[in-house]
Structure 1
Amino acid sequence: MIDTIPEPEDVPFTVQLKALLDQETRYQPKLCGLRIIESAQENGLRMTARLRDFEVKDLLSLTRFFGFCADTFSLAVSLLDRFLSVMKIQPKHLSCVGLCCFYIAIKSSEEENVPAASELIRISQSRFTVSDMMRMEKIILEKLHWKVRAPTPLLFLRLFHSFILQQLDMDSKKSLNIERLEAQLKACHCSFAFTKIKPSLLALAILAFEVQEQGLCELTETQDTLQLQSHIKGGDLVCVRELVGKCLMEYSSTKCSRPSNRKLRWLISGRTARQLKRSYYKIAHLPTIPEVAS
């Protein structure tokens, strides 16, 4: 049976937060597996952090193409990172793993228009079959023990945002825009650096970064309250907030790209990283971080 997190209705903030905090550790990617990926060399034989980031950007492009919600993308990234941290896969299988995680997330997020597996394969220009995808989906679910709907950073971000809005006047509410915060989270999802960070910490760090950027000094006490209730150390929050700022700066100044199919085959054949770098192609429909309303 697929494990799910019930949608709270009129549940007090503290109860919702405790429920998410109680579960987030169980859904974290395995650190040992992430370290193996982080230390892997770009030789086409092992999964690397760079290839993981390329795949996440592909999933983000597909999310935008189909018009799926942010929940679907955030859950797909969670599934992908959890699976990669417990299974050693070859780079040539990454696109199948990524698309299967995306498909599972689509169905788990209860999207209105769920595309057929064949349509996903066609749009993503993948070279595996529907049967390949169905087999891989079964493997992913079994390795994750059918625990699908993880407490993602997006769930924490929305919960924190709703809590903090209660402390703001109308003008300040416009400055702390949830769409902008979600776009910032999507950018962070595209960086392997955040895979080791707890969802609650990442969500609060994004919120703290935006509070700092917008100069909302009146929220300092509320932010401290959230930090205390989430059992987050001040030093950890500062470090991750700075990491978020660095990520967003790089994201806004760097063209998002991934290796072409031809180049990926070269990489698998043991070609050099320089050859890989020369054949990246741009992904359309990646999110821009909206400006704050004046």
Structure 2
Amino acid sequence: MKFTLPLESRKLSSLLEKAVSREAKLWKVYVPKKPTNQDTDISPEKRDEAVRWLRDVHSQLKLYPETLCLAIGILDRFLSAIKARPKYLRCIAISCFFLAVKTSEEDERIPSLRELASSSKCGCSPSEILRMERIVLDKLNWDLHSATALDFLYIFHAMVLSCKSGRLNMALSGLNPSQHVALLTQQLFHCLAHNALLQVRSSLLSLGLITLELEKLCPDWLALTVDLLHRLQIDSSQLISCRELVARCLSTHMASLPPNTVYICHPLPEPRDGGVLPMWYVSPAPTAPSDPNTTHTRSCKSSAKRKVEHMEVDEYFDGIKRLYNEESPQEGAPTYTAETPGGGQSLPVTQQNAGSSPCPPLQPVRET
């Protein structure tokens, strides 16, 4: 059933109120522990390392993004309640992850405990994970259904689309709603792996992340931000401080190459037989060239960047597109088959936009 706009808005408001109430009940101010001994205390840096490891396990098993976010939340709640030794951290982390899997995933998607212990290489036996599970549940009073940052992100995103869906969709630069929220999810998980943001409520963290995105996409982003602030009853100074932390965190996002890398644009080779170009060619955005050489290189850089962003989004897109009932990233787009650069297995290639020319690959300069 597809809701009309007023009913949809009321439903989103109700979901937000329930999430805020749940967060107020379970959330506690994070007090960072100052390690006195590396062998007896879990430092914030080790916590971040455990979160990044859980991201790798989650990516390998291809589970829903909600599962990973809940696992991180359970881990943080447990570590704030007890004092554990670093040698038990992986056992704690994988136990929290398995609890989240059994809470969020459908039965047919839940891996066996033996399979999880083997594939994650956590160094724990299934019986040790089960014992740690019981400890975690006892410390958290068997209450795992907390409101996560991803829950708030989904609600805020749906609210924004319901208010300004037409204008915002035009500003998404070709991303449909599921792809856009998948990109935000990838950014959120990057933030959750930084202990500097542990002192920020999940609702505030998601609000700071989505308002930073709105600032780039929507002309009247400030009015939308004020409305969301009013719904959360949060002071604007808290949001400003959170936005600064999130922006600083995202600025440290790992890149494939250093920012000052020098690129060389090689001549464009002739198309292969049948006029099909290799998979690694991408179409640059049309620009009004002033200097042909400069414009060609800049277009290649921007196209390569967009391709990398889409590859990162794909990790979470499959688990998110069900939210907006989208079956594929680009429905109805014709595809062709092209060979990989090394002559390996052929891959599907989406048809290039009419009138755009392919951009040759860029390579960093090698020192001679």
Tell me which interval the TM-score lies in, with the shorter structure as reference length: 0.7 to 0.9
Deviation string 1:174-225 (CA, Å, 9 cap, x unpaired) is 567111111111101111112221111001000011122x242223212210
> Which secondary structure state, in structure 2, belongs to the residue aligned with residue 47 of structure 1?
coil
Aligned residues: 248
The equivalent of 1:161 in structure 2 is 157
User: Given residue 32 of structure 2, which amino acid in structure 1 is its aligned partner?
Assistant: R
The equivalent of 1:194 in structure 2 is 197
The equivalent of 1:104 in structure 2 is 99
Q: Which has the greater radius of gyration?
A: 2
Q: Is the 8 A contact 2:63 2:105 kept in 1?
A: no
The equivalent of 2:64 in structure 1 is 69
Return the structure number with greater relative CO, CA threshold 8 A, min gap 6. 1
User: Given residue 15 of structure 2, which amino acid in structure 1 is its aligned partner?
Assistant: Q
> Which secondary structure state, in structure 2, belongs to the residue aligned with residue 100 of structure 1?
helix
Identity %: 27
Q: Check if 1:52 corresponds to 2:51.
A: no
Q: Is the 8 A contact 1:183 1:289 kept in 2?
A: yes
Match of residue 38, structure 2, among 30, 40, 43:
43
Structure 1 segments of 4 or more deviating over 6 A?
none
The equivalent of 1:209 in structure 2 is 212
Distance 1:108 1:139 in 2: 17
Q: Which runs of 5+ in 1 are unaligned?
A: 1-8, 256-286
Q: Is the 8 A contact 1:55 1:98 kept in 2?
A: yes
Q: Check if 1:28 corresponds to 2:52.
A: no
The equivalent of 2:124 in structure 1 is 128
Q: Is the 8 A contact 1:55 1:94 kept in 2?
A: yes
Q: Is the 8 A contact 1:184 1:289 kept in 2?
A: no
> Which secondary structure state, in structure 1, belongs to the residue aligned with residue 254 of structure 2?
helix
> Which secondary structure state, in structure 1, belongs to the residue aligned with residue 22 of structure 2?
helix
Match of residue 143, structure 2, among 141, 144, 147:
147
Q: Could you tell me how far 1:172 is from its partner in structure 2?
A: 2.6
Task: Mark the CA change 1:254 to 1:237 in structure 2 (over 3 Å): closer, same or farther.
Answer: farther
Q: TM-score, normalised by structure 1?
A: 0.78
Q: Could you tell me how far 1:254 is from its partner in structure 2?
A: 9.0
The root-mean-square deviation of aligned C-alpha atoms, in Å, is 2.4
> Which secondary structure state, in structure 2, belongs to the residue aligned with residue 207 of structure 1?
helix
The equivalent of 1:78 in structure 2 is 73
Distance 2:16 2:186 in 1: 22
User: Given residue 117 of structure 2, which amino acid in structure 1 is its aligned partner?
Assistant: I
The equivalent of 1:87 in structure 2 is 82
User: Given residue 81 of structure 1, which amino acid in structure 2 is its aligned partner?
Assistant: D
Q: TM-score, normalised by structure 2?
A: 0.63
Distance 2:232 2:39 in 1: 40
Q: Is the 8 A contact 2:153 2:207 kept in 1?
A: yes
Match of residue 181, structure 2, among 178, 183, 186:
178
> Which secondary structure state, in structure 2, belongs to the residue aligned with residue 251 of structure 1?
coil
Distance 2:219 2:254 in 1: 26
Task: Mark the CA change 1:93 to 1:29 in structure 2 (over 3 Å): closer, same or farther.
Answer: farther
> Which secondary structure state, in structure 1, belongs to the residue aligned with residue 312 of structure 2?
coil
Q: Could you tell me how far 1:253 is from its partner in structure 2?
A: 4.3
Q: Is the 8 A contact 1:157 1:207 kept in 2?
A: yes
